[in-house]
Structure formats: structure tokens, C-alpha cells
Structure 1
Amino acid sequence: MRISTMSMYNQSVASMNRQQSDFADISQKIASGKRVVSIADDPQAMTKAIDVRQSQALNEQFSAARVGVRNNLSQEESLLNSVTDTYSRAKTLLVQAASDSLSDLDRASVASELKGLYQSLEGLANTRDANGQYLFAGYADDTAPFAKDANGSLNYIGSTDVREQQVDSERRMAVGHSGDEIFAAVHPSASYGFQAAQDNQGSLKVGNLAIIDPNHVNFGQKYDISFETNAGQLQYRVNNGQAQDYASPMTLALDGVEVELTGTPTAGDSLSVGRGADLPTNIFKTMENVIAVLDKPAADDASKAQRANQIRSAMQQFDNGLDNVLTKRAELGARLNELDSLDVISGNQTLANAQTTSDLTDLNYVEASAEYSLRIVGLQAAQQTFASMKDMSLFKFL
């Protein structure tokens, strides 16, 4: 069979090109340190490596989300620490104000400091986070969560729904708490307390409130107590029940709870007794009420009774409020601990992903070096073969 000169040349060039391509391929792998540079090198390994990289990208997104959540939770925890200090100071001032040795001027001074604490607490409640969003506003984080109504009372107007963030593939975490949960709520198990109506006109004073039988079948209810006059006799009703005669002092038994009452109420006066969660829980309203009675001189027994009731009720509210804040701080601590655990898991996953990717795509330099030497030899052989064959022509002998 005759082999033409052109065919011989083409075969030699094709052989050199193949050797050159193989040499360039192994050189690129050595330079990059990767065994799989393109999907053609190992389709199965490259597909698995892409899946691992996508998993790692998602893992990094969750890590970034946890950073933002941790910043918000840490800021809230710091704020609640300040709230705790404010509540404690307010309770101390109320204990002082309850003393009979204080004059009206002294109590006005206490009221002045309470006003400062009130303003400080308002600032804490309307704090913004690093992104300029209101920390305690829930979903409505572009509007101050606490605002004053027409009567000058501070009320929560934010959302009761709290933003959540996906911090792991299987975990969504609340970014914080709404202001309603912090400043206008107490734990459902908050202890018993009372609230005397602001417009009471008599000298009714609420004394000791004791839990006698927590296992009573009706224990835990709220009791609304109203007073009326019938044929000149002062009477009271519990939850609009049957009217009963009132005589001071008396101990009122309420299904496992006893309340000491003294003084003389007038018809229309009222008070409520129940768990902390069943009574008014807005700490700002509590402060407004007690500041008002401390600012006003007590000229008669009715004013003194009203002041004493408001102070005792406010102290109970601050106790319940403080317990509530401490509970929320414990929740924040648990979430921060969970974020730390998720970070550890994420770090381990990152190492595992890196190892898997390395096993799939990284280059074995020992094998690559041997192949590199082999490709050099092959390329040189192809070049030398072509150099020898290009002189095999009959025209040289003519």
C-alpha cells in the first residue's frame, strides 16, 4: 500500500498535536493543583463537587444570617439589662415613697426621678438597631413602637408579630421580641396582685394579699369587686354576685386567696384582684399613674388611700415586669447559645465539604509528576519521529 507524503505529514502533525495537548493538559493541572479542571476530565466527580459547593454556599448564607441575628439579640440583651436596672431603681423609689415619714415635697422629688426613669425607659423601648430599624417594633420596624395617645399615655402601636430569620436548613429563629412582650406583658404564672380604680373616692386601702389554698377548684380567677350602698348599709359584690355587707377592717376570701381591706369606700368605688397577667400590665401606664399620685399632695384620707393603693400596686407591677424581663433575657441567652452550637456544626460542615471537594478534584502530585515526565517523552518522540520521516522521499534519490 502506498503512503503518500501528504498522509505521512498529516499523521505526524496529528500525533504531535495530541502529544502537545496532553502535555498542556497535565501542565495546567499541575499549575492549578486540580485533577478535575473541566467536567470532561471526570464528569461524575465534577458533578459531585458542584453539589458540595452548592451545599457550602448555602452553609455560608446561613452563617451570614446568624451573624445578623446574633447582633440583634446581643443588642436586645444589652438593652434589657438597662431595663432591669431601671425597674430595680423604680422599685427602690416606690419603697421609699411608701414610707409615712416622707412629706409631700419628698414624694414630689421621688416623682421627679421617676419621670427621668420613665423617659429613659421610653428611649430604650424605641431603640433602633444597626440598620436603623426599631428593635421592638416587630414587623412594623419602620415606625416607633411606642407613641403617646391623646391623653399623653404611652402605648404600644407596633406589630405583635416578630421577624424571623432562617439560621439553618431546619431552623427559623425569632430575631427578638416585640415591645408588647417586654413592656406590656407579664409571665402567665405571675403572682397575684390588685388594681384599685383611679377614680375611687373613698378611703379604701388594700393591705396584705395572701394565697391560702392554691389547690382550690376555682383558684386562679380574676375578681372584680365593686361597692354600693343599700338602705344606708355599705355593701360589696364580687364579679357582680350577691351583695354582702362591708365593714372595715375585713379579710375578703376569694377561692383560695385572702385580701385585707381597710378604710371606707364610697358607692361606685372598685378594685380588681387576680394574677398579674389578668391585671393592667403596661409598665408605662403604671409609672404614669404612680407619678400622678406622688405629684399630688394628699390632703385627705381618700387621697392618701389612693396614693397607698397605687404605690403598692405599682410595686407589684414592677416585680412582675422584672420577672418578665428576666424571662425574656433567659430566652435570648438560650437563642445565643443555640447560635453558637449552630456555628460549631457549620464549621464542622465546612471542613467536611472542603475535604470532600479535595478528595474529588485535587491533584495527586506524585502521579501528575510521573505523567508530566511521560508526556514530555511522548512529545519529544513524536517530534523526533516527524523529523526522521520528513526525509523519507524518493525525490532525494532522483
Structure 2
Amino acid sequence: MRISTVTMFDQSVSSMNRQQGDFLKVGQQIASGRRVVNPSDDPQASSRAVGVSQAKAITQQFADARISARNSLSQAESVLNSVSDAVTSAKTLMVQAASDTLSDVDRQSVASELRGIYETLIGQANATDGNGRYLFGGYRDDSPPFARTGGEGVQGTRYTGDENTREQRIDASRLLPVADNGKSIFQSVPSGAGYVARAERDSGGESIGTQVGFDRNQGSVSFKGPSRVDPGNELFGESFTIQFDVDVDGFPVVQAVDSNGNLLTYANGDEVLNESYESGKLVSFGGISITLEGEPEMGDQIQLRPANAQGANQDLFKSLKDAIDVLEMDQQGQPENRAHFRNTINSVMRELDNSLDNVLTVRASMGARLNELDVVDAVGSNRMMNYDKTLSDLVDLDYSEAIAEYSLRQVGLQAAQKAFVDVKGLSLFNFL
């Protein structure tokens, strides 16, 4: 069989090119550390690697979202820590102000300190996250959630945010609340907070909570309580109004009535409360009890409501404003003013307790969410490790095998080059 010189040259060059290509491919793999440098190297592994890389990117996005959520929750929790300290300080001042040994000047001094706490709480309620977004405004986070109302003196507040809770997706199936709205923190009470009493009479105007429609009592009746006696009572949890009337002989009686002034009765028809009034006597009805002292005036009332009822005051700022107003009031020689002071102090103390419990409950919820972020972070880290291992199995290089292959390809290329040199030197002219 005759083989031409051109054929031998072509085959030798093709062999060297093939060996050089294989040698270069192994060199690229070693240089990049990847077994699959181009999709053509392993189409199936390349396709699976793309899917795993996308899953890694999504998992990383969730990890970044958890960092943002953790920052928001940490800032809000820090603010609530300051709020709970401020409310605790306010309660301490209220206990101090309740002492009968203080003069009007002393109480005004306490009111001044309480006003400072009030301003501090307003500032905390309108705190931002450092990027200009208000923490407690819900989705309406571009303006202060608590606006001032009223004129001179200690102004009231009005919540202008919305009642939604901002959420952030921290995992494929988890939307985590990252900021509670101000209404749920500063204008709410925890469930099961019990009853709150306020000594105020219906003025006949439109009533919205305790803001409008109620005036001060005119008599000197003060109260202690209310206390929970029988939560299983069929009327427990209802709102009551204690009012004062006179019997046929002109002696004062104390009654429990509904919002229309009708005497409240049990299912069997018995009256809830309608008996002669005695100063200092404990009266019980509807599963609660309260002690009344002093001399009432006709029309005086005491409103008894569950702390979470619509008509009860749940506004922390209103409680503090009421306390400041009553501490600045002149009490000397006026029994009705002293009774109003004692009643307001009793009401505000209980409202502050409820507000503090609510703030601590929200803060505990934030702490639980921070713990949840730690757990989800751990799960996400394990998931990223699994993705990395799968991706490594698919496309990463086995250096031991690659180095052996590199040496083999190098020997093959050298052999092809040596063979080409030998073939190239074959000629009859060498033997002439």
C-alpha cells in the first residue's frame, strides 16, 4: 500500500493538534479549578449546575433580606426597651405623687418630670430607622406617626399612621413582620388586662372613647379597684356604669346601669347592683368588686370597662396627659378636687400597668422574631452548604486526576511531536 508524503505530514499535524488541544483543555481545567469549563464538556452537569446556581442566588437574597429584617427588629426592640424604662419611671413618679404628704408645689414638680417623660415617649414613638423611615407608622412610614393636637400646655397626640404591619419575606414560605404599628404599641392593651375604672359623668355629648362626652364628677367619691372576683360570672367582661341616686327616703343608693341608664340584671332577673350607699363599703357585682369612699353628688358616675373595651382609654399618651393635668391642679381645701386627683391617679396607674404590659408583650414578640431569624439563618446556611457541595460535585475539578491527566497529555503531545520529527526526516536522499 502506497502512502504519500503529504498524507503522512497531514496525519502527523492532525495528531499534534489533537494532542495539543487535549493538553490545553486539561491545562484550562487546572487553571480554573473546574472540570466543566464549557457547557460542551458535560451538558448534563452544566444544566444542573445552572439550576443549583440560581437556587444559591435566591437563598442569598433571602439571607440579605434577613439582615435587613434583623436590623429593623433590633432598632425597634431597642426603642421599646427605652419606652419600657420611661413607663417604669412614670409609674415611680406616680407612686411618689400619690402620697398625701406632698404639697401642690411638690406635685407640680413631679408633673414637670412627668412632662419630660411624656416628651421622651413622643420622640421614641416617632423614631426613624436612620434612612428616614418611621419605625412605627405601618406602611405610612414617610411622616411622623404621632402628631400633636391641642393648644397650650401639654398637648394631646393623634395616631396618623396606618394599622398595617410591614412584613418582609425571609424565606420561600415565610413572611416575617419586621415593624409593629404605633397603634398596637402605644394605644393598645394586652388581652385579659382586666377592668379599668374612671370617675366621670356622662355629659350628654358624643362619646368617642374617653376623649369626648364625659365631665368630672362633682362629688368627693373616690374608688379603690376594681378587682377581679369571679371571672366565671355571666356578666364578667361587660362594661358597667356605677351611678348614684336616692331612694324614697332621700338616702343615697348606688346602682349599676347600662349605657341607656337601665339597671343591669342577670338572666334570672336579679339586679346587678342597686343598694344603699355607704362610704368605705366594698360593693361586688358582675364578677368584680370596688370600694367607694366619700360623698357623691347626683349624676356622678364611675365607668367600669374591660381594659380592651372600645370605650376604655388605651392610649399611653392620654394617660400621661391626664396625670400631668391632675398633678398641676390646685387641691387645697377642695374635697372634690382631692377625690378627682385620687381617682385619676388610680386610673392612670392601672392604665400605665396595662401599657407597660403591652409594650413588654410586643417587645417579647420582637425578641421571638429575632430568634426565628437566627433559626432560619442556620437553615439557610445548611442549605447553602448543600448547594455548594452539589455544585462542586457537578463542575469542580479533581486535582489528583487532573494532574495525572495533564502528565499523560503532555507525554502524548511530546510523542506526537517526536513522531512528526522522525517522519519529517524520512527521505531517499538521505541514503544517496
Q: Could you tell me how far apart the structure 1 residues matched to 2:387 and 2:42 are? A: 19
1:90 counterpart letter in structure 2 = A
**Which residue number in structure 2 is paired with residue 385 of structure 1?**
419
- Relative distance call for 1:86 and 1:269 in structure 2 (3 A) is same
Provide the residue aligned with 1:202 in structure 2.
Answer: 219
The structural deviation recorded for 1:193 is 1.8
Say if 2:146 is the partner of 1:146: yes
Kept in 2, the 8 Å contact 1:248–1:264? The answer is no
**Paired positions, count:** 398
Which residue pairs with 1:77 in the alignment? 77
Note if contact 1:199-1:269 (Cα within 8 Å) is conserved in structure 2: no
Is 1:238 the equivalent of 2:272?
no
- Greater fraction of residues in helix: 1
1:215 aligned counterpart, secondary structure? coil
Separation of aligned partners in 2, 1:389 and 1:224: 117
For the 8 Å contact 2:197–2:225, the answer to whether it is kept is no
Residue type of the partner of 1:389? V
Match of 1:211 in 2: 228
Deviations 1:279-325 (A, max 9, x none): 21101011111111111102512211111111100000111111111
Matched with 2:175 is 172
Aligned pairs (5 A) from 1:48-87: 48-87=48-87
Cα offset for 1:11? 3.2
Q: For residues 335 and 85 of structure 2, what CA distance do their matches in structure 1 show?
A: 34
CA distance in 1, matches of 2:194, 2:294: 25
| 1:277 counterpart SS class | coil
Residue number among 316, 333, 339 corresponding to 2:350 in the alignment: 316
Query: Secondary structure of 2:225's match?
Result: strand
RMSD: 2.4
Q: C-alpha displacement at 1:82, in angstroms?
A: 1.2
3-state secondary structure, aligned to 1:77? helix
Q: Does 1:116 align with 2:101?
A: no
Residue 333, structure 1, aligned to residue 367, structure 2: yes
Gaps of 5+ in 2: 201-213, 265-273
TM alignment of 1:23-102, pairs within 5 A: 23-102=23-102
Q: Which amino acid letter does the alignment assign opposite residue 49 of structure 2?
A: A
User: Using the alignment, how far apart are the partners of 1:394 and 1:233 within structure 2?
Assistant: 148
Cα pair 2:240 2:256 within 8 Å, conserved:
no
Q: Is the Cα contact below 8 Å between 1:283 and 1:318 reproduced in 2?
A: yes
Q: Which amino acid aligns with 2:35?
A: R
Which letter does structure 2 place at the counterpart of 1:221? E
**Secondary structure in 2 matching 1:175:** strand
Distance 1:67 1:350 in 2: 16
**Range 125-134 or range 385-394, more displaced:** 385-394
d(CA) in 2 for partners of 1:159, 1:38: 54
Q: Which residue in 1 is equivalent to 2:314? A: 281
**Alignment partner of 1:199: what SS?**
strand
Q: Which amino acid aligns with 2:241?
A: D
Equivalent position to 2:380, from 332, 342, 346: 346
Equivalent in the alignment of 2:267: none
- Aligned-partner Cα distance in 1 for 2:382–2:179: 27
TM-score between the two structures when normalised by the length of structure 2 = 0.85
Q: Secondary structure at the match of 2:308?
A: helix
> 2: distance between equivalents of 1:390 and 1:228?
130
Q: In the alignment, which residue of structure 1 is the partner of 2:302?
A: 271
Q: What TM-score, normalized by structure 1, do the two folds share? A: 0.92
Whether contact under 8 Å (2:194, 2:228) holds in the other structure is no
Q: Is the 8 Å Cα contact of residues 190 and 354 (structure 2) preserved in structure 1?
A: yes
Matching residue of 2:136? 136
The aligned counterpart of 2:291 is 260
Give CA deviations for 1:322-345 in whole Å, capped at 9, x if unaligned: 111111121111111111111222
Q: Share of identical aligned residues, percent?
A: 46
Q: 2:162 aligns with which of 159, 163, 182?
A: 159
Partners of 2:290 and 2:422 in 1: CA distance: 118
Kept in 2: contact 1:233–1:245 (CA 8 A): no
Q: Aligned AA for 1:238?
A: V
Aligned-partner Cα distance in 2 for 1:234–1:147: 45
Give the corresponding residue for 2:189. 186
Hey, what's the Cα distance between the residues in 2 that align with 1:293 and 1:15? Answer: 103
Q: 2:222–2:339: 8 Å Cα contact kept in structure 1?
A: yes
> What SS is found at the alignment partner of 1:260?
strand
Structure 1 CA distance for aligned equivalents of residues 335 and 114 of structure 2: 24
